[in-house]
Structure formats: C-alpha cells, structure tokens
Amino acid sequence: MKPLSKASQQGLHGTLAVPGDKSISHRALMIGSISQGATHIHHFLAGQDCLSTLKAFQDLGVEIERQQDEVIVHGKGMMHLRPASIPLDMGNSGTTTRLMMGLLAGTSFTSTLIGDQSLSKRPMKRVSEPLSELGVQVKLTEKGTLPAQVVGGTVHGKTVKLQVASAQVKSALILAALAADQPTTIIEKLPTRNHTEIMLRQFGAEIETATNQRTITVQPHPDLVGQDVQVPGDMSSAAFFMVAATIIPNSEITLKNVSLNPTRTGILRTMLKMGADIRVVEHETTGEPFGDLHVKTSKLHPIEIAETEIPALIDELPLVALSAATASGISKITGAAELRVKETDRIQAVSNELRKFGVQVEELPDGMIIQGQPDWKVQDSHLDSYGDHRIGMMDVIAALKAEQSMILENEAAISVSYPDFFTDLQHLM
C-alpha cells in the first residue's frame, strides 16, 4: 500500500528522459535473436515485461548480456534456436506471448508458453486463428487462453485478413511469415503500430507496406543481420508526465527523446486538440522518429474519440479519460472495446478509479462518457491498480490533483513497464 501525496503549489518542473519504448525493446530482443551476429540495444526498457522476453530467448539458447539498459544479443539465426527444457514463462506480457507464437512457428520444434494469472485470462485465439490460416498449429485451452503449445515447422504463405486491430496479432503473423514457403500478405482492420516492420527492414527483411498503411507483404527467408538499435523513450510512459504537467497548476517540464512514431502519437494529437500547451521539437533520424516535448500547464476542453483513432492511443486511453475528467463538460470515448481485454478490464477500472475522485463516469460496452470538472471532491481515498501497471500510474497522476492524500493498493504492478516511475516523478516534484 503506497501513500500518495498531492502536488505542491509550485507544480512539476525539470527535464526527464523517460525509459525506452516497451514495444521496440521487445522487438529488438526478438529480431536480434533470430539474426546473425551481435545486436546492440541501447536504452533498453528493463521492465518486467521485456525481461520476460529476454529470459524466454535465453531459455531458447540465445546468449544475451545485459548491463542496466544496454543489451547485447548474440544471434545465430532462427535455425539455432533450440527447444527450451522448461515451459517458456511469459509473465504478465501479452506482447511477448503473442509475438512469440508467430516467431516460434518458424522453428523446427514444439514450445509450451505459460503466463501469470492475469495473462492466463487474456484472449489468444486472435493469434492462433489467423496463424492457423498459414497452416501453423497453436493449441490453447478450451477458453482460448494460455497455456499454449506452438508446433513449429510449417508456415504456408498466403493472404490473411485480420479481424481485430492489433499490432501484436499483425506482428505475430509477420514473424511467422519470415519462415513461410512463399510471400504472405496481411490485411489489417485499421493501421496499428509499425515497429516490427521498421525494425525488420533495418535488419535486412523485405517488407512492403501499401499506401493504405494496412496491407503488409512479407518476403520469406531474409538474411537478417544483427544491428545497433537505439530505443527512443516510450510515448506511453512519457504520456503520464505530459498529462500530469498539463493538469497540475504552475508546471513546466521537458521530456527528452520520446518516440514520435505517428502510429503512437495519438495521445499527443488528442492533448493538443483538447488545448494542451505542448511544443514538439523533432530530432533528425533515419530510423524511428523521436524528439523532445515541452509541456506547460493548460486548461483542457472536452473531447470525443472514435474507433479509427483508437490504435494510435490504445495504451493511453486511461490518460485521455483522466484528462477529460479535468475538463469542464462531457467527453466520450467509443470504439475501444479492446480495453476490456487488457491487463485488466480498463473501462471498468478507469471508471471505478475516477469515480473515487468524485468524477461522474458512465461505462459503455466499448468506452466511457465522462462528465469532467476542474475541481474534484474525493469520495474514496483507497485507489487500486488492480494489478495493471497503467491503471496504477494513472492513479498516481490523478492523486497529484486531489485535495487530500490518497493510498494505492497493488502499486508493484507499475514495474511491468516503468520500474523507476516513482523516482522519475519525484525528480519533477
């Protein structure tokens, strides 16, 4: 149980480099592991989720060295992965699980994947079904959950149309397609984060994205060669401080080297639409775009968010709801049913938590209606992360604005994506 205090009259100040991007850190480990030669990963996110990926590849026989946020993966190519002697433990990580299902299809052996209590409830058929269209066998429980057995060895390239807008599912298919007998085309429901495509191209793969941004063609059996990967700061982590500095009076902060990949900057576009004072300074790069964010306190307007905007801010929707809760008027989020199958049911969790601050929230099957108000009246000072890192961090930021001290249950979940969250917040206080 963690005591949380409100922000001082002076607000938040200072400069922060947030930890490396979670999605890119996972992919660098995976793609490095199936490439030939050393991959150096700089500013790697050493959160629990990415450490689950790292351990899984060590269990598959890959030599990986790590010193804090510097990682060296000594890849020897896909064919040198060997069967793990124990089930591969995915921990809490949906990204590890779903991407590994696709990647392991290209091996010559069967692997067993297990996960923690929360992960073992999350839907996996969304990956096994499209993979089966490529001839890949993934056995799940009757409910379509972990434990899973992935039978490696057969991948038939063809065209697959995806039913859910999910970068994890798309990436699983791309990774499987690398080992296919012919090219594979994946058609997404909506464009989602494209880190897998960008990174695979850097390592030597031939992947074409059509101008509609949702049709991806993968040529099989590329010669992947180890690379240097500079991981930008995670927009999903930066967003907590971006929102904090916006809603806490008298704040002015700078967030350095944050990912500006347009498939991830939905939160930035939304905050700007709501009237936030954020100046973006983009840096020159040939790879993943990144830059600095200068954020000052500002009054926010209500907002409406619809389905097409969801993929680019899927992980930041709790923060959109929190920002909307401070804006006078009604905000509405729809088309976000995916939130119900995240680490926890995030529609229910966000609604519960915001109500504790006296904010009126109506749950919709696929979103929320939020009656925002600049001044809150705490109803219940007991906050809960429900074991979900992003809900825990949203609670901490909301507590900065409350008129009294709050406490947070299950704060340990935060280490899944941001182990130094409290230290970094303290740095700005």
Bind-site residues for 3-phosphoshikimate: 22-23, 27, 166, 168, 315, 342
Coil, strand or helix: which one is 25? helix
Active site (annotated) includes residue 315:
yes
C-alpha distances in Å from residue 420, one per residue of 48, 141, 425: 12, 36, 9
Q: Annotated catalytic residue: which of 315, 388, 395, 424?
A: 315
Interaction between residue 314 and ligand S3P (CB under 6 A): yes
Q: Which of 221, 226, 232, 114 is nearest to 178 (CA)?
A: 221
In a 13 Å sphere around the CA of 95, the CA atoms on its Cβ side amount to 25
Measured from the CB atom, the residue of 193 and 356 that comes closer to ligand S3P is: 193
Coil, strand or helix: which one is 344? coil
Interaction between residue 124 and ligand S3P (CB under 6 A): no
Shortest Å, Cβ 262 to ligand S3P? 15
Interaction between residue 261 and ligand S3P (CB under 6 A): no
Measured from the CB atom, the residue of 248 and 314 that comes closer to ligand S3P is: 314
Interaction between residue 167 and ligand S3P (CB under 6 A): yes
| Spatial separation of the C-alpha atoms in residues 205 and 219, rounded to whole Å | 7
- Of 187-246, binders to ligand S3P (CB under 6 A) are 193
Shortest Å, Cβ 113 to ligand S3P? 16
Measured from the CB atom, the residue of 292 and 309 that comes closer to ligand S3P is: 309
| Spatial separation of the C-alpha atoms in residues 199 and 386, rounded to whole Å | 33
Q: Can you list the positions of beta strands (E) in 158-298? A: 159-161, 184-187, 207-209, 215-218, 228-230, 252-259, 277-282, 290-296
Element at 139 (helix H, strand E)? strand 137-139
Q: Which of 275, 280, 281 is nearest to 246 (CA)?
A: 275
Contact track, ligand S3P, 4-43, x by CB under 6 A: -------------------x--------------------
Shortest Å, Cβ 346 to ligand S3P? 10
| Spatial separation of the C-alpha atoms in residues 326 and 347, rounded to whole Å | 18
Interaction between residue 92 and ligand S3P (CB under 6 A): no
Shortest Å, Cβ 193 to ligand S3P? 6
Coil, strand or helix: which one is 250? coil
How many residues bind ligand S3P (CB under 6 A)? The answer is: 10
Interaction between residue 95 and ligand S3P (CB under 6 A): yes
* Binding residue ranges for phosphoenolpyruvate: 22, 94, 122, 168, 346, 390
Instruction: Using CB under 6 A, list all residues that contact ligand S3P.
Output: 23, 95, 166-168, 171, 193, 314-315, 338
So which residues are the catalytic ones?
315
